[in-house]
């Protein structure tokens, strides 16, 4: 299962997901409590403090984080995750 998350409202996420034709849900975390738990918030003085840092987590069937990705190359990211998933299943 693939889920996205952002600090935007549920309505903003619905609109964004529809505009981008996402095939997955985007969860809303407007108070950034989940973002803080996952370490994706930015420092208060950062010019992008209202936006989560772009990280992905590969979580195994037992709910354990198997890999954390600091997403720098958006175009290559999906291939990296799929390769790691194949290795974990192999």
- pLDDT value at residue 88: 87
CA within 13 Å, CB half, 39:
6
What is the set of domains in the chain, with CATH numbers? 3-89 (3.40.30.10)
Cβ atoms < 10 Å from Cβ of 52 = 19
Who has greater pLDDT, 88 or 30?
A: 30
Q: Are 70 and 57 in contact (CB under 8 A)?
A: no
* pLDDT for residue 61: 85
> If DSSP codes are grouped into helix, strand and coil, which group holds residue 64?
coil
Instruction: Note the pLDDT of residue 60.
Output: 86
9-64 pLDDT, tens digit each: 999 999 999 999 998 999 999 999 999 999 999 999 999 999 999 999 999 889 99
State how far the Cα of 90 lies from the Cα of 82, in Å rounded to an integer.
12
Whether pTM > 0.75 for this model: the answer is yes
Confidence of residue 90 (pLDDT cuts 50, 70, 90): confident
Task: Kindly tell me if the per-residue pLDDT of 1 is higher than 90.
Answer: no
| Rounded-to-integer distance, Cα 50 and Cα 78, Å | 25
């Amino acid at each position: 299962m693939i889920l996205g998350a952002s600090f935007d409202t549920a309505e903003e996420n619905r609109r964004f997901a529809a505009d981008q034709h996402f095939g997955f849900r985007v969860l809303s975390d407007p108070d950034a409590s989940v973002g803080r738990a996952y370490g994706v918030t930015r420092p208060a003085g950062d010019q992008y403090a209202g936006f989560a840092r772009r990280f992905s987590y590969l979580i195994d069937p037992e709910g354990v984080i198997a890999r954390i990705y600091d997403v720098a190359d958006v175009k290559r990211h999906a291939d990296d995750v799929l390769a790691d998933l194949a290795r974990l299943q192999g």
